Chains A and B, each alone.
Chain A
């Protein structure tokens, strides 16, 4: 379990820390921890799986990747079958069932927009269902991610 200090540290790290020679020392100074303890706590939280990564968060699109959010209206009786077909595509990630008429929601990620479009076409062909393509037009800054 995380203690109050861990939580303060996670909240700080979610917002992002400065790039400097001693980033852990600087981050620790904001919440009254020394450098060594910051490193030890981050390592412990990575080891136990609360954190999956510490470091630069890239904007994948600016690195040349292309992504979109897709939704499908899947008949209840075909849900398992369609899930199987859709998830078999390497380009598909984060597939969720949601409570709505459009009930299957997944992300397509590929190295180009052309490849994203081709994947959507291939999914429509393989399932016989329409894919609603909802690409990101603008991302709004999200402050603190979650108050843990």
Chain B
């Protein structure tokens, strides 16, 4: 990654300034024009370095205190299609394909489901299990019991790998 990009990423790491023209202010900090700053960020949205301009929500503060990791053993030929569908369902906050590790771990599709109560999460899961895309698919539900460690991320990614940022 070239130098102007690294400088820009450093400048927006802590978030955007809450001013009417945030990219003007970011640009001024690093000696770039507003137009150039916008163009570079837009390039990164296209190439995937930046996923979106958005917010990190603290689920717990909003009352979404329960989470479950739900894992599915989807035939390889269907996993992409099912994954796309699953990511779009209400309550699903993450959706990843991961390797199976037989014999102890047969599941290849992971999702996280957040809800305000265990009942609410169970209800969501029940609805998913009935859906045509997942009907009859072997699965397991792993509710969280305790969270032991929460570390600030070096980069502002919304969630590294499914541990999930707050619950």
Residues of A within 8 A of B (CB): 2, 10, 13-25, 35, 39, 42-43, 46, 48-60, 62-65, 67-69, 71, 73, 83, 87, 92-102, 105-107, 109, 132-148
Contacts and interface: CB of A to CB of B under 8 A. Distances in A.
B162 A57 contact: no
Contact-residue size bin, chain B (C-beta under 8 Å from the other chain): 35 or more
Chain B, interface SS category: mixed
Contacts of B145: 96-99
A137 B51 contact: no
B149 A106 contact: yes
B98 interface: yes
B18 interface: yes
Contacts of B88: 141-143
Given A55-B53, A99-B145, A60 B155 contact: yes
B62 A2 contact: yes
Q: B24, B91, B158: which has the most chain A beta carbons within 10 Å?
A: B158
Given A93-B151, A106-B163, A142-B93, A50 B62 contact: yes
Interface in B117-167: 140, 142-151, 153-158, 160-165
Contacts of B19: 39
B38 A21 contact: yes
